[in-house]
Amino acid sequence: MFEGFELERLQVGGVSLRVRHGGSGPPLLLLHGHPRTHATWYRVAPLLAERFTVVCPDLRGYGESDKPLSTPDHEPYSKRAQALDQVGLMRLLGHDRFAVAGHDRGAYVATRLALDHPEAVSALAVLDVVPIGAALARCDARFAAAWWHWFFLAQPELPERVINADPDAWYGDRYGPAHGRDQLGEAWPDYQRAIHDPATVHAMCEDYRAGLGIDRAHDEADRAAGRRITAPTLVLWAERDNLPELYNGDVLGVWREWALDVLGHGIDCGHHMSEEAPAELADALTRFLP
């Protein structure tokens, strides 16, 4: 897995991050989603490494990266804190300016990175999401029914008890084949270690708790101040997931309220596009990125 890549643990600020990096060319940061680790990119990263220097970390709290103690406002797991990790990581690796692509929760970190650190982001790609602030502002019964896990995972204590009682049952029942051995392939052992680690499960829930509170507040503050993403932005969504349905077939219209330069399209796959459609995803990113 990740042939030709180097695996390291790097100290960035107050946290240690597990990261793989390899390839050559312009720097590209890839940020995974929940409940994955950086290993989710194992089919995509080698394709991109033919043209880019590819950096794939475990987000703080996920995989084998540090899981800092949280606070009542969940600030240590805010997307702002996680974005700052990534700026520090890329600078440590010698990249002051870079492109970033994020999937799921990683896309929220990438979005915050582009908003908070525009000088560092040359291009942004977001995979199968709209901004947290937009999702919650537009939340209706359809969204609550389809994405109920956002609200469950943000509850105090209960989600950890439920998930840790039987992680395989929780993820298997909630997410189905998308979290099965066949789809994850070589990433399966890494994923299994993550979901069976109670500290990781707690950190992932903290990520969702931050999402409903401090992250939403940060997004709303940006909207009120008129701040928008200035980097060229590529939006990709899974045609076999429910994002187009939830936003009435106009995912790009949502993003145009948040970014100045937006283009995008659907990919014929389910939510976990890096594992379901790696060649198509790598091609879309390669065509877009400078």
In the residue annotation, 271 being an active-site residue is answered as yes
Question: Which one is catalytic: 34, 38, 95, 271?
Answer: 271
Spot the catalytic one: 58, 104, 219, 241: 104
d(Cα 252, Cα 166) in Å, to the nearest integer? 38
Structural contact between residues 83 and 12, judged by C-beta atoms closer than 8 angstroms: no
Identify whether 66 is a catalytic site residue. no
Q: Tell me whether residue 256 is exposed, middle or buried, using C-beta atoms within 10 angstroms of its C-beta: 0 to 12, 13 to 18, 19 or more.
A: middle
266 in Cβ contact with 231 (< 8 Å): no
DSSP-assigned letters across all residues of the chain: --TT-EEEEEEETTEEEEEEEEE-SSEEEEE--TT--GGGGTTTHHHHTTTSEEEEEPPTTSTTS------TT-GGGSHHHHHHHHHHHHHHTT-SSEEEEEETHHHHHHHHHHHH-TTTEEEEEEES---HHHHHHT--HHHHHHTHHHHHHTSSSHHHHHHHH-HHHHHHHHHGGGGSHHHHGGGHHHHHHHHT-HHHHHHHHHHHHHIIIIIHHHHHHHHHHT--B-S-EEEEEETTSSHHHHTTT-HHHHHTTTBSSEEEEEESS-S-HHHHSHHHHHHHHHHH--
Active site amino acids = 104, 271
